Amino acid sequence: MIAATKSGATSNGKTAICTLFEGDYHLGLAAFLNSLVHTGFPGTVWAGYRGALPPWLDQLNRLDEKGTEFLIAGQVRLVLLPLKTEMHLTNYKPEFMLKLLAGPACNCEYLWYFDPDICLYSEWAFFSEWQRFGIALCQEIVDNIVPEDSPLRRQWMEIASSVGLSNPQRINYYYNGGMVGVAASHSGFLEIWRRIIERAGELGYDLKVIMPGTRAMPLHASDQDALNVAAMYSPFPLSTLGPQGMGFIPGDVKMYHTVAVKPWRGSLLLNALGGKPPTNAMKYFFTQVATPIRAYSPAHLLAKRLACSIAALVGRFYRKT
């Protein structure tokens, strides 16, 4: 049984989380899982993966003989699911969520997806309350305003019409594809999202890469553009946050999303000297990698945190505009 958390909540199995990872994203996954423990999530995380398993699994309590289920801090159950899809994992999100809701998570009433480069900042109680109001989405920071009458939305309408969708909602915001929360009863939203990604493939987009072509193409950011098309045609209510929700701008931060440069890659100091100091999301990442999962050795983590601090100091005096 999953134990009570510091916020007093206990798991009833009605809410679950999923994510997708491969390669060095296991470091982001470790930070994400730690943040779930720290913010009080009590339940199951379904993690689809390709390639090697995370090297830190031997730190966890194994729950099965196959070595696919683990318990973290007596609170979070991690289930690892190997994947065979050839498409880029970002384009596999709605398919993965639908398969979970039809299979191992069939008793779940609400399913969250988070990218493994996200760390929760707000207590889980906020997310538990948020999910009552509909499909949870968070605005992007890049081009987060896309007017309802923009050429891009007109192109999306043409694509949507080609698969039988009609009567779009009037939406002026553009949402990030790194997080979505969907009630099982609203899984039709995921069906629309998946269908638009499939349509992109039919139109010649390479779904094995994350951003095929250029922004001049209407589904350039295949999964994220398709998510926004799904939002336009959703018959279910949406409940959304501004870009501050993912820490893209100052404000009421609910999670930190380390987009573009990942904190576990490259040199923080060299990046800072190049005019790109660590973001608040990067700084927060290094507070989430020590416990209960140790993503780095103590010496390595100390060096990373020191480099982050020095890089942030450099950034106070020098950065690209």
Q: How does pLDDT run across 284-321, given as a tens digit for each residue? A: 999 999 999 999 999 999 999 999 999 999 988 876 65
Q: How far, in Å, CA of 314 to CA of 238, rounded?
A: 41
Mean pLDDT, rounded, of the chain = 93
The structure tokens listed for 59 are 């730190």
Q: In this predicted model, what pLDDT tens digit does every residue of 124-176 receive, in sequence order? A: 999 999 999 999 999 999 999 999 999 999 999 999 999 999 999 999 999 99
Q: In this predicted model, what pLDDT tens digit does every residue of 107-123 receive, in sequence order? A: 999 999 999 999 999 99
- CATH fourth-level superfamily of 15-246: Spore Coat Polysaccharide Biosynthesis Protein SpsA; Chain A (3.90.550.10)
Q: In this predicted model, what pLDDT tens digit does every residue of 265-288 receive, in sequence order? A: 989 989 888 888 999 999 999 999
List the chain domain ranges: 15-246, 260-317
Task: Write the CB contacts of 273 (distance below 8 Å, at least 6 apart in sequence).
Answer: 314, 318
pLDDT band at 260 (very low <50, low <70, confident <90, very high): confident
Angle value at C-alpha 274, between 270 and 279, nearest 5 degrees: 80
SS3 call for 193: helix
pLDDT band at 213 (very low <50, low <70, confident <90, very high): confident
Q: How far, in Å, CA of 246 to CA of 53, rounded?
A: 27
Q: Is the pTM here over 0.85, yes or no?
A: yes
Burial (CB count within 10 angstroms: exposed 0-12, middle 13-18, buried 19+), residue 250: exposed
Q: What is the mean pLDDT of the segment spanning 225-247?
A: 98
pLDDT band at 212 (very low <50, low <70, confident <90, very high): confident
Q: In this predicted model, what pLDDT tens digit does every residue of 33-72 receive, in sequence order? A: 999 999 999 999 999 999 999 999 999 999 998 889 999 9
Instruction: Provide DSSP, 229-260.
Output: HHHHT-SS-EEEE-GGGGTSSSSS-SEEE--S
Dihedral (CA of 248, 156, 114, 19) sign: negative
Task: Write the CB contacts of 229 (distance below 8 Å, at least 6 apart in sequence).
Answer: 156, 159, 160, 192, 193, 196
